[in-house]
Amino acid sequence: MAATRKDAAKLDAVDPLAQFRGEFDLPAGVIYLDGNSLGPPPRRALARLQQTADIEWRAGLIRSWNDAGWFDMPKRAGDKIARLIGANTGEVIVADSVSVNLFKIASALIARRRAPVLAVDADEFPTDGYILEGLAGLAGARLVRLKTPAIPSGVDVLVRSLVSYRSGAVADMRAVEKEASAKGAEVIWDLSHATGLINVDLRRNGARFAVGCGYKFLNGGPGAPAFAYIAREAAATLSQPLSGWMGHASPFDFSTDYRPAPDAARFASGTPPVLSLSALDAALDLFEGVAPPTLEAKARALGDLFLDICEPLGLETISPPAGMRRGGQIAFVHENGFPIMQALIARGVIGDFRAPNLMRFGFSPLFLSYSDVFEAAEAFAEVLKSEAWRAPEYARRGAVT
């Protein structure tokens, strides 16, 4: 029998993360199930933005690089992320975008190899494939798009997401690293849909390289800077191609010769974007004292509840079923997925659509309640049963879908 509104209320009453809901500035009347694409603003991030602009920049001016700690913020924020992904201090640097960080690490890994082979899953998030395609053209490498999880012999660098952006399926990091090691390959993990949501343990699982974004489950804001993880023992052996002055061991020596920083900091390049970085840095403070397994357990329970309530609708899903390990989103297949999602958004339940036919619903554990999920599932069912999505206005597409 499907869960009821009363069942959802009982789960809310014992939710160990319930107090975090008030930390977010969410609009009234909206149930936000798209934190897997863009997290909503934490109140402390908005306050930090105002402080950075009105006090540190306006009054402090250039002195704030020292007085407000702007210069060290990429490392400080990196260490906060390190705790969430099972890395050590000094192994994560906040810088640039996922695309740029992926290019830097992959380039460094193939720099001294003849006719290198790059590999990426065929259904990987597009930018990861695009970056490797561009790098292959520059470096004379060969790019292989994999249609099965197995790693072919001869691959030098594999890029793989820990959590699939389409289905929410979670890869077995330890097994992939073991297979890659046996075949002489290095793996760069894309943690964009994992960090701040599931229990990631890079060091314990043997991972040496990873990238991830700051604007999804970390709630750092649109265009928030990304991060790069490079295991300390690996960093010392690599020379990244975008050797900008922020990756220099002593940038304010203004030496004409480049001397890389000793750890992940060498993968920084240009001046950090202080305004957006300050918002991310403040948002990361929300996770202080929160255990990643607790985040993952609630995210999965929220998704399980949604699946349970939606089960009578008979929709096809490509996501792992209730009770199985899963990231923070569930994707349903429907040929009219786009207008259905637009009709649902018009009712105040915000999910997203991914071409050609996926409706995705995200379950962020810090600000969503079980009652939210129940109400969202009820609204979803009503849109489908009433066929309200057939109204012409819901078929119109903007530049971003």
Mind telling me the catalytic residues?
125, 190, 215-216, 360
Nearest to 118 by CA among 161, 164, 152, 150: 152
> What are the tokens at 325?
């390990």
Cβ proximity of 19 and 198 under 8 Å: no
Residues 93, 96: Cα–Cα separation, whole Å: 10
Residues 228, 225: Cα–Cα separation, whole Å: 10
Helix segments in 314-362, DSSP class H: 337-346
Cβ proximity of 75 and 87 under 8 Å: no
Map tokens 């923070």 to a residue.
Answer: 328
Cβ proximity of 176 and 109 under 8 Å: no
Cβ proximity of 34 and 362 under 8 Å: yes
Residues 141, 116: Cα–Cα separation, whole Å: 5
The burial class, CB within 10 Å (0-12 / 13-18 / 19+), for 222 is: exposed
378 membership: H or E segment, kind and range: helix 370-386
Residue 142 β-bridge partners: 117
Cβ proximity of 25 and 43 under 8 Å: yes
Residues 361, 254: Cα–Cα separation, whole Å: 49
